[in-house]
Amino acid sequence: MKITLSVIKADIGGYVGHSESHPDILAQAARSLAKAKQSGLLIDYYVTKCGDDLQLIMTHKMGEENEKIHKLVWDTFVEGTKLAKALKLYGAGQDLLADAFSGNIKGMGPGVAEMVIEERKSEPIIIFMADKTSAGSWNMPLYKMFADPFNTIGLVIASNMHKGFAFDVHDVKEHKKITFNAPEEIYDLLVFIGAPSRYAVKAVYSRETNEIASVSSTQRLSLIAGRYVGKDDPVCIVRTQGIFPAVGEVLEPFTLPHLVEGWMRGSHHGPLMPVSAPDSTPTRFDGPPRATAAGFQLADGKLVGPRDMFADKSFDLARQQANEIANYMRRHGPFEPHRLPLEEMEYTTMPEVAKKLEGRFTHLD
């Protein structure tokens, strides 16, 4: 049976500041999706949050970029924004960059990750969600899951994974895409995805069967809006087991709290801390950036779960390390590389300060 899995998210208001989502917003979104399930549009749904981002996880049979599904989501975000405004939540409607729905929610602000799959005999999936970081932050974990034998032993010893995986990479600035085959093109692949502010892994495919393994949201809010409106806070769907990496191989990369863009005012590097859903409350300097992982078994499109995968004690050390790295990075204050390089900074007084001081700069020679 062909199932579409759609994960669409938006920050429609923070509680308090950018640190959390308000429970009334989640409850209202759940009512909206419950109606759509009753009407038969959705097979199933799960509403959750990662920090101040509202996450709508849905299964249906309508395919990707379906107008009815995207309209349902847009209307849910618009209704949520009304409630957020009534509660005077912070940045109400922050990620809704268009005034009216125009057929496809892509390019309108919300993050979108969708895949159509033939549901297997058992279909374990993990949905990763992040707050206070950018599209591209999944590049390193995805590389480790699908191309690094030191992370994923299945690449070496499982015959149905030995052919490797294909990576679709998007150039988010020039709107171009390219596919790389791992393992033989990993050096070429890394030249690009090692620069995640520009190149983001959009999707991964099994080279054994060509089936989709993973899809991420790659929209860059600041490029859509032309100004800083908040961070992308991306999502990523990963299928696991069988021809795909095992659940434990998919989670393993997050034992390294790698440095990502985001954190305070979207303008800093900081460690990505793996946390349980309730602990996705970025509070210290609006961070450090968080990742959550919701695990489901699909059963004829029904979302059996979630299991809160990062709640496990085996991620305690990564959290501890993330806090230590956060301390170390914070001590750099307004200096790079804690502060993002000038061209990546989303939030800057540089043009006005430079203009004010224009006349005071003199040539060296």
Examine residue 14 and tell whether it contacts Mg ion (CB under 5 A). Answer: yes
CB 43, CB 50: distance < 8 Å: no
**In the annotation, is 302 catalytic?**
no
Which residue, judged by CB position, is nearest to ligand 13P in the bound state? 230
Binding segment for Mg ion among 46-54, 107-115, 338-346, 354-362 (CB under 5 A)? 46-54
Residue 252, binding choice from Mg ion, ligand 13P, none, Cβ under 5 to 8 Å by partner class:
none
**In the annotation, is 11 catalytic?**
yes
Torsion of Cα atoms, 314 then 316 then 321 then 322, to 10°: 110
Task: Pick the binder of ligand 13P from 3, 5, 11, 139 (CB under 6 A).
Answer: 11
Residue 264, binding choice from Mg ion, ligand 13P, none, Cβ under 5 to 8 Å by partner class:
ligand 13P
Which residue's entry shows tokens 């021809």?
Answer: 243
Task: Extract the tokens encoding 224.
Answer: 């859509």
Residue among 123, 131, 9 at smallest CA distance from 74: 9
Pick 44 or 232: Cβ nearer ligand 13P: 232
Give me the helix-helix angle, 67-86 and 23-38, nearest 10°.
150
Pairing relationship of beta strands 53-60 and 44-50 according to DSSP bridges: antiparallel
The interface with ligand 13P within residues 15-74 (CB under 6 A) comprises: 18, 51-52
Cα torsion angle, 354, 355, 356, 359, sign:
positive
Out of 163, 228, 279, 308, the active site residue is 228
**In the annotation, is 46 catalytic?**
no
The interface with Mg ion within residues 217-276 (CB under 5 A) comprises: 230, 233
Out of 168, 231, 232, 286, the active site residue is 231
Q: Compute φ and ψ for 337, nearest 5 degrees.
A: -90, 10
Examine residue 265 and tell whether it contacts ligand 13P (CB under 6 A). Answer: yes
Buried b (16+ CB within 10 A) or exposed e, 9-29: bbbbbbbeebbbbbeebbebb
Examine residue 132 and tell whether it contacts ligand 13P (CB under 6 A). Answer: yes
Q: Which helix (H) or strand (E) covers residue 249, if one does?
A: helix 247-251
Task: Pick the binder of Mg ion from 44, 95, 114, 131 (CB under 5 A).
Answer: 131
Task: Extract the tokens encoding 125.
Answer: 């999936």
Task: Pick the binder of Mg ion from 9, 18, 70, 268 (CB under 5 A).
Answer: 18
C-alpha to C-alpha distance for 331 and 329, rounded to whole angstroms:
5
Examine residue 261 and tell whether it contacts ligand 13P (CB under 6 A). Answer: no
Q: Please give the size of the binding site for Mg ion, defined by CB under 5 A.
A: 9
Name the residues that contact ligand 13P, by CB under 6 A: 11, 14, 18, 51-52, 91, 94, 131-132, 230-231, 233, 264-266, 286
Instruction: Point out the residues that are catalytic.
Output: 11, 228, 231
> Which residues lie near Mg ion (CB under 5 A)?
11, 14, 18, 52-53, 91, 131, 230, 233
